[in-house]
Structure 1
Amino acid sequence: MHNSSTATMDDPQLSQKKLTIAFIGSGNMARSLILGLLNDNSSPLEIRVSDPDPNQLTAMRQHWPEIKISTSNDEVALGADIVVLAVKPQIMREVAQTLAATCQTTRPLVVSVAAGIKIDALQQWLGGQLPIVRCMPNTPALVQAGATGLYANELVNTTQRNQAESILRSVGITLWFEQEQALDAVTATSGSGPAYFFLVMEAMQAAAQSLGLPAQEAHLLVVQTALGAAKLALESQESPAELRRKVTSKGGTTAAALEVLQGKQLETIFLEAMQAAAKRSETLAAENS
């Protein structure tokens, strides 16, 4: 459980000039966000982290001596400007309920990076009437190349909106949505999306090896090609469809490959797959409400 009254947080004195961000949970997403924030250096920050595992906290402190650590959620949240909920969805209800009294006292901006937990549920567990931003990041945030969809409730002011965006923008691009239900589509697109590309890479590498390429060479060719194609698509003014047309000569090798992929209804497969992901996201949200 992310709560304890035994541990003490070193040097709890706050500087008035610093924005204080408390991370509840020290998993991969929290670590990537902390790394992005510390690398940014655009404004003075005090970063606090809580986790029930002292070993996890010690490892973080060794890597980042400037952060403040505790096994007590309440201790890191007390007086924080922003509380980032970075725990697994399965334990979010219990964690949020234990933080309710502290959050109702200090009324911080709450930022949730947990998939499938709607703002109404968070609001209920935290005691109500809090500014909350719900985020849907993805795993490339671990290498500061993430894509995050954000939704804010009506209690989030402009300053807090900018603060939440800055936190997630430290690990990639951010996009705001005016309807919370759009995050189900974001989940199906960018949230789950890395796995789609990994599957394509996996299939391409296996095919390359079947054509006679050694495993290591096949792997490097595939992942570099994926990186290059993504970079080209991101930086080009042309659409992916136009970029595809430009590299597809009539009667050429690329055309032969694409004819097979489109003949197997690749577009329909992706449509059905992403519809399934979005539906599952809706179901999980309902189950966690």
Structure 2
Amino acid sequence: MHKDTMNILVSIGGGPEAYEALAFAALLSRRQCTDTSLLTVREPDSGLHSGGLELRVAREQMLGWGLELPGLKRLKKARDIFAELGEIPGQESVQLEHRAISGDPAGEYVVSYNTPCGGTVALHLRSGTDIPGVIAEQCDIEDVDIAIVGAPGENPTGFKKLVSATPMAYRIAQRLPCPIIIARRLKTEGAILAVLDGSGLAAGCLPRLAKIARACGIPLSVASTAGMEVIEKARRALPLDSPPIDETFEVENSAEAVLAAAEDYTLVALPAPVGKLRGSMVEKVMENAPISVMIIR
């Protein structure tokens, strides 16, 4: 990992939204020279139960993609998309390795590629039954700055919501220690809206959002649920080379008001510390927004 590089992790769970978000991750890779991790987590099976596939077999499968395992098929598709987007210029991997992880007998298998700018794209195959926990652990291991996970295809409502399990993407969002984007038709055009609540958490993430906006070549607007002085204070803390903020305005501190304000944007970002998401206004926005939502941490 490059010390000063933004580290991005994309969780590949098989749904279409995660694959669509790869264009966004590839643009950040190209413009910010990020180190990007593409991760899939497999349920343990007989092939991984005794400590994982042998490294020789893993090399054949992860480089040749000959084994029709769901996790490898997902990684192959993600790798092919990244290659089509120009961020994996050749088919030769830089390195394949097996990494031991405490408490996980299977460890993880990693295939790494160099990107044209000098960053890396690493494909990670892990196994586990606690998928949110595995992804959270991976974010810690890789010192991830932003994680991306595909939104569920449909949110249950009414009685169905009461009896249905929480969608995996939302369970992941509740557990991750780093900022996370719940991707819904995540595009590389449009605009970003940051919603500040007066906390240092929200203001501290504004420089990162400005960097993302610059990389994508899209405007960044800032709204506040705690008065315009919050925006001015956050603006003064931005680095001198940050792009100008497009629009600033106040918004009521309610999910309905934030959803209405964000309807013309590609991505809306709101603060929610780890453990404070469940039952919050931010959770309501995450579940009901027709666009991508970034949870700031």
What's the TM-score bracket when you normalise by the shorter of the two chains? 0.3 to 0.5
Which structure: larger Rg?
1
Point out which structure has higher relative CO (alpha carbons under 8 A, 6+ apart).
2
Give the TM-score, by structure 1 length.
0.41
In terms of fraction of residues, the more helix-rich structure is: 1
In terms of fraction of residues, the more strand-rich structure is: 2
